[in-house]
Structure 1
Amino acid sequence: MSEQQRSTLSLNARDIPIKSVTVFTDRAEVNRSFRVSLKPGLNEIRLENVAGSIEQQSIRVDGQGAASIHEVKFESKPINIENSDLPKVKELTTKLKEVEAEAQKERDLQSIYNARIEALNNAVKTIGQSSTKGDSSNLVSFNETAEASLESFFDYHERKSIELKAKTRVVDERIRTLDLEIQRLNDEINQYRWNMGTKNTISIELENQMEAGDAEVDLAVGYQVYGARWSPSYDIRVKSKLETHRMDISYFGNIQQQTGEDWSDVQLSLSTAQPGLGGDLPKLGTTVVQFYRPPPQQPQEQMYAMRTCMAAPASDEMMNGGAARKMKRAVATAEENVLSTTFTIPVRKTIPSDPSEHKVTITIEKLTCYLHYHCVPKKDTNVFLLATVVNETDYPILAGPASVYVNNSMSAMINLKSTSCGEKLECPLGVDKTVKVIYKPTHKFQTQVGMINKNSSSGNEQRIVVKNTKRSESVLITLHEPVPKSSDEKIKVRMFSPELPKPKDTKTEEDIRIVHLPSVGVELDDLHNLLWTEVIQPEHEKEFIVKWAVEYPHNETVEYVERSQHE
């Protein structure tokens, strides 16, 4: 069989616009599409100057047309950096020279100011030295004229020194700013040149399947690149008016990319997927119980090997080797699946390759919220306002920083927790100074109980006053107060005030997902702390009395130890 005719076409990747980019938390997927004309027989399409930070195993090629793909391979060759500067690098280099010249000008001005300050100080020293050398010709005659002249000189020295030092501080600050800009430009230039240190080429071998003549085919090339990331942030605005409360959540994506390629006017998507994580399910071995024997001393390398699990190698069936396959029509991928969520930005964006962070709006959602006040007066008498909402949006809320505003006033900077669709989200809104709590001194008492088997009784009475200074709005507040829990059957804890209700039934999953404000009354939480909820009317106050006693054998001593939830 005679050898097929072979043609080669070289294209510069930087001349082919990027169609879409999906940004992950540690990398990005770049998609380019273009049309080529295939000669009869075999055709090699060489896509040159692709990004230097490319992940080779991620390259994929699809297309439409009368052709089949035989092979896709990646080549990387070193090149001469001096002769390969892109217009972007030349532009940055020109800007760098301008900033360096401006910084040098400021340093020259700094030297002049310092010299003038030194000259003024030397003039003062000269006057002092002349008066102490014993040379009568140089001694200052302290008459009224000399005194006025000296006073005038010292006033001038003080005024000029202050003026020159103020100018020096301004120049110093400008120099620091310019030095930071010089560093930024150098980093950006080095990043570009690092990406250009090698010539990366994607080679695609296609076979024209037209019986005669050229074949027009559309190719779509996708690959992942490092040096890109995104993270979420939020702007939360709570608008409260009497009994109606609304929360507006603005969901932002903060994108940074230094891949060496500018993303100009691209369809941008942000994905929560983590391509670097493997999908293999861990396997358990057999757990046996045996007598402990001290293990023999083992080398560091062997200990490390025992703790390390080998990951399965990534599959490369898609890209390398194998028989020719028929080209298929490209299909759109779903924006959401069981493993991740992808946010598609509705307008096309331009994200240059530089150290800057670029903020894009993902969505703005309006949710009904429920406001509730909390206070732990034993530790802090400040009253904290919390807003509770259900995430009724189609977007999961990822963990990230949030700026919180209440009625257009800055309230707090917080870190939101991850919240899936349909789950409840509690958002702290900061301290409300219009609700005041007074934690009065604790009253303690000690008594003996029992006629035959005498026990000691240690009592505790705590009074808490809550004042609502709001003029027209009542508040629902929950006080958190510790109540001791017995760790021994000989220790009895008796609650006198308030009276505790019977335990409630276990909450259902539906109760957990629906927002329920605390009911007025008292209950013990999972840590055996008292939660006392009441409504305080406008310009009113209420006193809460928490009283309990602990009985224990008179020959024993008890102590109160606070344990965290994780102990």
Structure 2
Amino acid sequence: MASIYELDIRNQEISGITILSDRAEVKRRVPVNLKAGVSEICLKNFSVFFQSDSIRVEGRGKATVCDVNAKKLPSLNSETDSPKIAELRSELDKYNAIRNNQEDQRDILKKKIGGLERTVGRIGKGIMNPKRESGSVVIDENLLTGLQKLLDFQETEMNKLNEQLREKEHEILKTIEMASKIGNELNRLVNSGISNMSHTVFITLEAFEDGDVELDITYQVFQAGWQPSYDIRVDTEKPTMAITYFGKIYNHCGEDWNEFPAVLSTAQPSLGGQIPELGVLDAHFYRPALKMRRQRGLRIMNRRGGPRMLSNYSNEIDDGVEEVLQTMAPPPMEVTKNTLSTEFRIARKATILNGVDDHKVTIGTIELIPSLLHQSVPSKNASALLTASAVNTSVLPLLSGETSIFLNNAFVAKSHMKDVSPGERFTCSLGVDTAIRIEYKPAKKFHEEGGYITKHSTHATEQTISVKNTRSGPPVLLTIKHHVPRSTDEKIRVKLTSPVGITSDQTDQINSENAEPNVGIILNKDNNLEWTIKLDAISSKDLLIKWIVEHAKGENIELRENLQ
């Protein structure tokens, strides 16, 4: 007969956790003293978000793993609750019992008040309406004195009882408030909508002799992961850009992680590792579909759920912390580059309880030398934004995440970092520079027709943009971005006549996303004009952009912006 060992997986030591963007891989060490023969290890109370097909079992000792099986079994709250949840349930039961006792005392006070009113009423009725054999009532001084004493007694006792009733009502409200607070915290920790089932893993071992065996249990849980965030601090005097790379770890999987070595991984298993299959692409003659006659009274609604958008911006403003005499260095972190991902090993052991706020760890600090550049899209916003552009010269890949931007130790904005690989250039906005004035003047449009054999129409558009630097000091680089129509048909010809065309060096710049900002004119990959000029102190310039569109006569041209 097989020996059975029942263990709670939550009580087993955590030897390591690899935290991914949408899940966590937990590794626990399970020591067992086995008897010779076949034994069954029953590991109970896995997380409700446990991924059953992710379980892996490795071991050390004189035994062989014969079988591993995961099942969902019915369980009680007392068996599956974490210590924090069990404590909250106990507190909630205590306050519910206190409330029941207080409500009983309140009901007794109400009965006392009612009984006193009825007693005084009966006494007064007996005095004023005596029975016939008692004779008529003689109202004298003794009778009036007795009635006054009775009414005074009633008033005194009623005041006492009403005061006690009000105090008891106040106590009940306080108890309800405390019970509601505990209940809300309990609901936050308890996974609502999930049946009271426990994930249990059965491991069958065959031991060759009596002795100790140590198992390594590795499994994955959802509702846990990490997200990157950044503090970008730009100093325009030096200039320098310091990026502090944070990892925000969240744990809502139902397990408490105590004193564990953590590894943050950039792997994305949710994207899958399967190559998509292509079906057969058949070519048919187009046949319009027959329109169905709508039946009266029948309406077909297309209920397509839209994607959930995660806000990248926050109304909260970080409080700036004054710079101390010596900058405190973050704890060292080991960085391991794998074929498809990068891992960051946290130096200190961490403790992250289920359901608590995000745990923030520092991954590293990157020091870069930025290029400062003013940019503007006057057709949409006639303001000049100061931007810092730099190449990621570190070995750390910067993942998409929220960013807090500081300019000369002053908080300026919340933004969002896009994915940036090592060696790739990125740009962050530092806010509007009011010293750079931009005037977007009304466009001038001209139309003419020509041609001897083939008639054609020509549309010319002139756009003047006036820029002015009101600041004294060194000159600034300013890039004006503007649309230039792109032809989608060979019968439509678009020619940019002002400014002058692109040189070969600038063409190389188009193909190089890591190029330094420089004075010149380029058309980017979206056929938009990027005109970079050097604007001296207390100076102004007029920039003329002109393009001509030619097409066959009788056709109308529609300019439509396509945001890719």
TM-score normalized with structure 2 length: 0.67
Unaligned runs of 5+ in 2: 100-173, 292-334
Q: Which of the residues 241, 244, 257 maps onto 1:250?
A: 244
Name the CA shift for 1:31/1:453 in 2 (closer, same or farther; >3 Å): closer
Amino acid paired to 1:77: L
Q: Deviations over 1:210-237 (max 9, x none)?
A: 5xxx323322111112332322222222
Distance 1:487 1:94, change over 3 A: closer
1:30-50 CA-to-partner distances (Å, cap 9, x unmatched) read 111133322223333333333
State the Cα deviation string for residues 125-173 of structure 1 (Å, max 9, x = none): xxxxxxxxxxxxxxxxxxxxxxxxxxxxxxxxxxxxxxxxxxxxxxxxx
Question: Structure 1 residues 456 and 220, CA, compared in 2 at 3 Å: closer, same or farther?
Answer: closer
Counterpart in the other structure of 2:512: 512
Partners in 2 of 1:184 and 1:550 — Cα distance? 65
Shift of residue 390, structure 1, vs aligned partner: 2.0
Deviation at 1:400, TM superposition (A): 1.9
Distance 1:457 1:201 in 2: 76
Residue 222 (str. 1) matches residue 218 (str. 2):
yes
Distance in 2, Cα, partners of 1:557 & 1:46: 78
Q: Which residue number in structure 2 is paired with residue 41 of structure 1?
A: 37
Aligned to 2:389: 388
Which residue of structure 2 aligns with residue 260 of structure 1?
Answer: 254
Change (3 A) 1:186 1:521: same
Could you say what secondary structure the match of 2:357 adopts? strand
- Say which is worse superposed, 443-452 or 359-368, in terms of deviation: 443-452
Contact 2:397-2:420 within 8 A present in 1 as well: yes
Contact 1:404 1:414 survives alignment (8 Å): yes
Provide the residue aligned with 1:201 in structure 2. 200
1:320 matched to which residue of 2?
none
Shift of 1:477: 0.7
Deviation at 1:490, TM superposition (A): 8.6
Secondary structure, aligned partner of 1:429: strand
- Aligned partner letter, 2:215: L
1:284/1:441 CA distance change after superposition, 3 Å: closer
CA distance in 2, matches of 1:470, 1:429: 17
Q: State the distance in 2 between where 1:498 and 1:386 align.
A: 24
Instruction: Note the C-alpha offset of 1:481.
Output: 3.4
- The 1:179/1:508 distance shift into structure 2, 3 A limit, reads farther
User: Residues of 2 paired with 1:180 and 1:416: CA distance?
Assistant: 40
With over 3 angstroms needed to count, the CA separation of the structure-2 counterparts of 1:101 and 1:250, relative to structure 1, is farther
| Matched residue, 2:422 | 421
Residue 382 of structure 1 and its aligned partner are, at CA, apart by 0.5
Offset at residue 487 of structure 1 (A): 7.5
Residues 47 and 538 of structure 1, relative CA distance in 2, 3 Å threshold: same
Q: 1:287 and 1:191, CA in 2 relative to 1: closer, same or farther beyond 3 A?
A: closer
State which structure, 1 or 2, has the greater radius of gyration over its C-alpha atoms: 2
Alignment-derived partner of residue 276 in structure 2: 282
Contact (CA 8 Å) 1:388, 1:425: kept in 2 or not? yes
CA contact (8 A) 2:16 2:261 kept: yes
Question: What residue identity is the alignment partner of 1:257?
Answer: N
Q: How does 1:36-185 map to 2 (within 5 A)?
A: 36-81=32-77, 87-93=83-89, 181-182=181-182, 184-185=184-185
**Aligned match of 1:564:** 562
Would the aligned equivalents of 1:96 and 1:182 in 2 still touch at CA under 8 Å? Answer: yes
Is 1:26–2:22 an aligned residue pair?
A: yes
Q: How does 1:206-355 map to 2 (within 5 A)?
A: 206-210=205-209, 214-241=210-237, 244-292=238-286, 335-354=336-355
Change (3 A) 1:396 1:484: closer
- TM superposition shift of 1:497: 4.3
Distance verdict in 2 for CA 1:530–1:336, change over 3 Å: closer
Q: Judging changes above 3 Å, is the alpha-carbon distance between structure 1 residues 199 and 514 closer, same or farther for their aligned structure 2 residues? A: closer
| Corresponding residue for residue 190 of structure 1 | 190
TM-aligned CA deviation for residue 91 of structure 1: 2.2
Secondary structure at the counterpart of residue 356 of structure 1: coil
**Would the aligned equivalents of 1:226 and 1:259 in 2 still touch at CA under 8 Å?**
yes
* Equivalent residue, structure 2, for 1:302: none
- The structural deviation recorded for 1:394 is 2.3
Give the Å deviation of 1:18: 1.8
Following superposition, the deviation at residue 565 of structure 1 comes to 5.8
Structure 1 stretch 435-444 or stretch 67-76: which is displaced more? Answer: 435-444
The CA distance in 1 between the partners of 2:370 and 2:230, in whole Å, is 16
Per the TM alignment, residue 178 of structure 1 is displaced from its structure 2 partner at its CA by: 8.0
Alignment match, 2:162: none
C-alpha distance after superposition, 1:456-503 (max 9, x if no partner): 876555443322233323211111234456778898767664333445
Partner amino acid for 2:282?
V
- Give 1:355 shift: 5.2
- Does structure 1 conserve the Cα–Cα contact (< 8 Å) formed by 2:472 and 2:537? yes
Counterpart for residue 367 of structure 1: 368
The one-letter amino acid of 2:389's match is T
CA contact (8 A) 1:89 1:192 kept: no
Alignment-mate amino acid for residue 9 of structure 1: Y
Any conservation in 1 of the 2:92–2:179 contact (CA below 8 Å)? no
Structure 1 SS opposite 2:85 = helix
Given that 2:38 and 2:206 are in contact with CA atoms closer than 8 Å, whether structure 1 keeps it comes out as yes
Mapped partners of 2:443, 2:176: distance in 1: 56
Q: Which amino acid aligns with 1:563?
A: E
Is the partner of 2:10 in helix, strand or coil? helix
Q: Give the Cα–Cα distance (whole angstroms) in 1 for the partners of residues 31 and 79 of structure 2.
A: 29
The one-letter code matched in structure 1 to 2:393 is: E
* Conservation of the 8 A alpha-carbon contact between 1:389 and 1:515: no
Distance 1:552 1:72, change over 3 A: closer
8 Å Cα contact 1:478/1:533 also seen in 2: yes
Deviations 1:392-450 (A, max 9, x none): 22232222221222212222222222222222222233322222112344456678999
Call closer, same or farther: CA 1:441–1:89 in 2, change over 3 Å: closer
Q: Which amino acid aligns with 1:224?
A: Q
Task: Output the CA distance in 2 between the equivalents of 1:53 and 1:447.
Answer: 69
Alpha-carbon distance in structure 1 between the residues aligned to 2:558 and 2:44: 73
2: distance between equivalents of 1:468 and 1:54?
Answer: 61
2:376–2:479 contact (8 Å) kept in structure 1: yes
Q: Distance in 2 between matches of 1:288 and 1:552?
A: 35
Residue 141 of structure 1: aligned partner: none
Question: For residue 543 of structure 2, what is the aligned residue in structure 1?
Answer: 544
Q: Distance in 1 between matches of 2:255 and 2:436?
A: 55
- The answer for unaligned runs of 5 or more in structure 1 is 104-173, 298-333
The alignment-based identity, stated in percent, is: 36
* Residue matched to 1:114: none
Tell me if the contact between 2:22 and 2:222 (Cα under 8 Å) persists in the aligned partners.
Answer: yes
* Residue matched to 2:130: none
What is the identity, as a one-letter code, of the residue corresponding to 2:17?
V
Deviates more, 1:65-74 or 1:183-192: 183-192
- 1:321 match: none
Deviation, 1:85, is 5.3
CA distance in 1, matches of 2:445, 2:53: 72
Please point out which of 1, 7, 11 is paired with 2:7: 11
CA separation in 1, counterparts of 2:11 and 2:222? Answer: 21
How many residue pairs get aligned? The number is 448
CA distance 1:402–1:444, shift in 2 (3 Å): same
Q: Contact 1:93–1:189 (CA<8 Å) still a contact in 2? A: no
> Which residue in 2 is equivalent to 1:119?
none
Aligned position for 1:317: none
Deviation digits for residues 253-285 of structure 1 (CA, Å, limit 9, x no counterpart): 222222222001111122333445542222223
- Once the two structures are superposed, residues 171-211 of structure 1 have per-residue CA deviations (whole angstroms, 9 ceiling, x without a partner) of xxx9999899556413145339968x34443332222335x
Distance 1:259 1:175 in 2: 31
TM-score with structure 1 setting the length? 0.67
Separation in 1 of the partners of 2:68 and 2:403? 45
